[in-house]
Amino acid sequence: MSPSDPQKTYSLVADIGGTNTRVALAEGTHLLPETVCRYPNAEFAGLETVLRAFLDTQDGVACAGACVAVAGPVRDGVGALTNLDWTIDCATLARATGTETVSILNDLQAQGYSLADLSEDNLRRVIPAPAHAPTHATGATQIVIGVGTGFNAAPVFTTDKGRLVTPAEAGHANMPVRTEAELRLLQYVETAHGFPAIEDVMSGRGLSRIYGWLAHEAGTPKEASAAEIMARFEAGTDPLAQETAAMFVRILGTVAGNLALIHLPFGGVYLCGGVARAFAPHLDRLGFQAAFRDKGRFAGFMGNFGVSMIEDDFAALSGCASHLQEISG
């Protein structure tokens, strides 16, 4: 379905993952959900052919601007996807969409740009914010943490010049260690992969690695996918899945707490991504809050930070639209 008015008032936005690309139109900061289309990346040679296929379905709509979010690092206007052999630059984006107003963001940056426009209906409170907590409107820093196929985090700064969401590759920093068991997990990951990064345990494949390590520790080596582990955990049919989930959530709490101390997000911490959302109903009973606040003499200080889960599946697309609106003036 396409907008009824083919005037040059719409922006094109896209969220490019390792497997699929979602493309849509937006009017100002308002995403048009009825225009969202999903394309399997394996069926296309590159982003340009995806965007042209999308525009061919939109009855001649011209683009006032275009912004895409990529699951990988962006530097000097060039995005490289971590799990896909596509390189995306501004010239390609401008050629495919016929507009000179273009931007390329990391996918966590796009999530960060969406925060100001998210409705309460699309947020699940994980740790309540303190009474009279500052918000982005007062200039308070926020941080968005993505846990899905990979792991990343990005701080969100609100200034009198607009919002700034700085890129990062936080998932490739070293995994933190708080216990002897976590040290053994780190050594297990390091032996298998050469470097024990946060993403190696805080992601879908990380969930599988924790499960495999616990099975190894128990002397009964076995493997399971993230989807299988979550199904067994929720069904209560596999004690190892229960232990895996508890350890995953504790480490997530530790990492999120570390990031909160680094960035001081008095405007809130926001979790997103498919794996994070799968754990949303279970974070409290699995000890997320205790791990988040376990910072020694700064444990009380950690009460300054509320934590929420982003449940809007189109947040990255909305963030692209919001960013375009800012750079277009």
- What is the Cα–Cα distance from 303 to 264, expressed in whole angstroms? 11
Q: Strand runs (DSSP E) across the chain, as ranges?
A: 10-16, 20-27, 30-31, 37-40, 63-70, 74-75, 78-80, 87-89, 102-106, 123-127, 142-147, 151-159, 162-165, 269-272, 307-310
Q: Which of 328, 300, 2, 269 is nearest to 129 (CA)?
A: 269
- What is the Cα–Cα distance from 76 to 69, expressed in whole angstroms? 14
C-beta atoms surrounding 320 within 10 Å: 32
Long-range contacts of 20-25 (CB under 8 A, 24+ apart): 21/47, 21/50, 22/314, 22/317, 23/50, 23/51, 23/54, 24/314, 24/317, 25/58, 25/61
- What is the Cα–Cα distance from 105 to 86, expressed in whole angstroms? 15
Give the tens place of pLDDT for each residue, 122-159.
999 999 998 887 777 678 999 999 999 889 999 999 88
Which domains does the chain show, CATH number per domain? 10-113+314-328 (3.30.420.40), 120-311 (3.40.367.20)
Give the tens place of pLDDT for each residue, 92-103.
999 999 999 999
- How does residue 1 score in pLDDT terms, banded at 50, 70 and 90? very low
Q: Are 64 and 10 in contact (CB under 8 A)?
A: yes
- What is the Cα–Cα distance from 188 to 192, expressed in whole angstroms? 6
Model's pTM, two decimal places? 0.91
Give the tens place of pLDDT for each residue, 180-202.
999 999 999 999 888 999 999 99
**Torsion sign (Cα): 75, 81, 83, 86:** negative
User: Is 3's pLDDT higher than 80?
Assistant: no
**Torsion sign (Cα): 262, 263, 265, 271:** negative
Give the tens place of pLDDT for each residue, 13-41.
999 987 899 999 999 999 999 999 999 99
- What is the Cα–Cα distance from 41 to 43, expressed in whole angstroms? 5
Q: Strand runs (DSSP E) across 265-328, as ranges?
A: 269-272, 307-310
Provide the total of helices (H) and of strands (E) in the chain, helices listed first. Answer: 10, 15
- What is the Cα–Cα distance from 115 to 157, expressed in whole angstroms? 11
Give the tens place of pLDDT for each residue, 204-248.
999 999 999 999 999 999 999 999 999 999 999 999 999 999 999
Residue type, 93: L
- What is the Cα–Cα distance from 310 to 123, expressed in whole angstroms? 5
| Choice between 74 and 35, residue whose per-residue pLDDT is larger | 35
Cα three-residue angle 116-76-19, rounded to 5 degrees = 70
